[in-house]
Structure 1
Amino acid sequence: MAIKKRRPLKRLNGEQILQWLDELKDDGKGGFLGYGEDHNWTHKSCFWDLPYAKALPLPYNIDVMHQERNVSESIISMVFDTDKTKDNVKARKDFSRDMPWLEVQINSNGKESRPRAPDPKPEDRKQILKWLQTLKFPDRYAANIKRALCAKVISKKLMRELEKGIPILICKMEKVFPPGFFNAMQHPLVHLHGEALVAGPVQFRWMYPAEREPKKLRATVRNKARVEGSIVESFAIKEISNFTNMYFAEKHKVNAPSMRYHTAPSTQR
Structure 2
Amino acid sequence: MPIIIQGPKQPGNDIDVYLRPLVEDLKLLWKKEGVPVWDEDNQEEFNLRALLFVTINDWPALSNLFGQSNKGYKTCTHCMDETESTYLKHCRVYMGHRRFLAANHPVQKKGKHFEHKADHRTKPKHHSGKTDLKVVFGKGPGSQPIESEDGHVAMWKNNSIFWELSYWEFLDVRHAIDVMHLTKNLCVNLLGFLGVYGKSKDTLEAHNDLKHMEQHGDLHPEPKEKGSHYLSPASYTLSKTEKESMFECLESIKVPSGYSMNIKQIISTKEKKFTNLKSHDYHVLMTQLLPVVIRGILPDNVRATITNLCAFMNAISQKVIDPDRLEALQNDVVQCLVSFELIFPPSFFNIMTHLLCHLVKKIGILGPVYLHNIFPFESYMGVLKKYVRNRARPEASIAKGYGTEEVIEFCVEFIEELRPIGVPESRHEGRLRGKRTLGRKAIMTVDNNLFRKVHFTVLQQSSLVAPYIEEHLALVRARNIVFYVKDMSSKGKKGRGPDEPKRNVVLPGKRKIVGVEDKTDENYDQLDGQPPFTVTIDPSILLSNEDTPYSRSDHKEGTIVRRKYVRSTVTADVLP
Taking structure 2 as the reference length, what is the TM-score of the superposition? 0.37
- 77, 88, 97: which one aligns with 2:192: 77
Deviations 1:110-161 (A, max 9, x none): 2556456553277665423214x2489xxxx969878732333443112222
Question: Number of matched residues?
Answer: 247
Please state if 1:227 is matched with 2:394.
yes
* Residues in 2 aligned to 1:218 and 1:60: alpha-carbon distance in whole angstroms: 25
Please state if 1:100 is matched with 2:245.
no
- 359, 366, 369: which one aligns with 1:192: 359
Deviations 1:205-224 (A, max 9, x none): 33223322222222233343
Alignment-derived partner of residue 243 in structure 1:
410
Structure 1 residues 68 and 147 mapped into 2: Cα distance closer, same or farther (>3 Å)? closer
Structure 1 residues 160 and 225 mapped into 2: Cα distance closer, same or farther (>3 Å)? same
- 194, 214, 239: which one aligns with 1:119: 239
Alignment-derived partner of residue 47 in structure 1:
160
* Residues in 1 aligned to 2:517 and 2:198: alpha-carbon distance in whole angstroms: 50
* Residues in 2 aligned to 1:234 and 1:156: alpha-carbon distance in whole angstroms: 44
Alignment-derived partner of residue 249 in structure 2:
128
Alignment-derived partner of residue 179 in structure 2:
64
Structure 1 residues 208 and 221 mapped into 2: Cα distance closer, same or farther (>3 Å)? same
* Residues in 1 aligned to 2:220 and 2:184: alpha-carbon distance in whole angstroms: 30
What is the CA distance between 1:192 and its match in structure 2?
0.6
Alignment-derived partner of residue 135 in structure 2:
21
* Residues in 2 aligned to 1:114 and 1:57: alpha-carbon distance in whole angstroms: 46
Q: Could you tell me whether the CA contact under 8 Å between 1:31 and 1:43 is conserved in 2?
A: no
- The aligned amino acid for 2:147 is G
* Residues in 2 aligned to 1:256 and 1:166: alpha-carbon distance in whole angstroms: 37
What is the CA distance between 1:167 and its match in structure 2?
0.9
Structure 1 residues 227 and 79 mapped into 2: Cα distance closer, same or farther (>3 Å)? same
Alignment-derived partner of residue 151 in structure 1:
318
Q: Could you tell me whether the CA contact under 8 Å between 1:150 and 1:203 is conserved in 2?
A: yes
What is the CA distance between 1:16 and its match in structure 2?
5.3
* Residues in 1 aligned to 2:396 and 2:380: alpha-carbon distance in whole angstroms: 17
* Residues in 2 aligned to 1:159 and 1:66: alpha-carbon distance in whole angstroms: 22
- 149, 174, 185: which one aligns with 1:33: 149
- 1:191 is paired with a residue whose SS is helix
Q: Is there any run of 5+ residues in structure 2 with no aligned partner, and where?
A: 1-111, 257-286, 290-310, 418-447, 454-515, 519-576
Where do residues 156-195 of structure 1 align in structure 2 (5 Å cutoff)?
156-195=323-362
- 187, 204, 207: which one aligns with 1:89: 204
Taking structure 1 as the reference length, what is the TM-score of the superposition? 0.71
Q: Is there any run of 5+ residues in structure 1 with no aligned partner, and where?
A: 258-269
Q: Could you tell me whether the CA contact under 8 Å between 2:210 and 2:345 is conserved in 1?
A: no
Q: Could you tell me whether the CA contact under 8 Å between 1:91 and 1:180 is conserved in 2?
A: yes
What is the CA distance between 1:61 and its match in structure 2?
2.8
* Residues in 1 aligned to 2:255 and 2:395: alpha-carbon distance in whole angstroms: 45
Q: Could you tell me whether the CA contact under 8 Å between 2:326 and 2:360 is conserved in 1?
A: yes
- 1:11 is paired with a residue whose SS is coil
Please state which structure has a larger fraction of its residues in helix. Answer: 1
- Structure having the higher Rg: 2
Please state which structure has a larger fraction of its residues in strand. Answer: 2
- 1:186 is paired with a residue whose SS is helix
* Residues in 2 aligned to 1:82 and 1:104: alpha-carbon distance in whole angstroms: 23
- 1:42 is paired with a residue whose SS is coil
* Residues in 1 aligned to 2:194 and 2:347: alpha-carbon distance in whole angstroms: 13
Alignment-derived partner of residue 261 in structure 1:
none
- The aligned amino acid for 2:135 is L
* Residues in 2 aligned to 1:226 and 1:21: alpha-carbon distance in whole angstroms: 39
Deviations 1:212-239 (A, max 9, x none): 2222222233343453444344334422
What is the CA distance between 1:68 and its match in structure 2?
0.9
What is the CA distance between 1:107 and its match in structure 2?
5.1
Structure 1 residues 215 and 171 mapped into 2: Cα distance closer, same or farther (>3 Å)? same
* Residues in 1 aligned to 2:358 and 2:364: alpha-carbon distance in whole angstroms: 10
Q: Could you tell me whether the CA contact under 8 Å between 2:333 and 2:357 is conserved in 1?
A: yes
- 2:172 is paired with a residue whose SS is coil
Alignment-derived partner of residue 265 in structure 1:
none
What is the CA distance between 1:66 and its match in structure 2?
1.6
* Residues in 1 aligned to 2:248 and 2:314: alpha-carbon distance in whole angstroms: 30
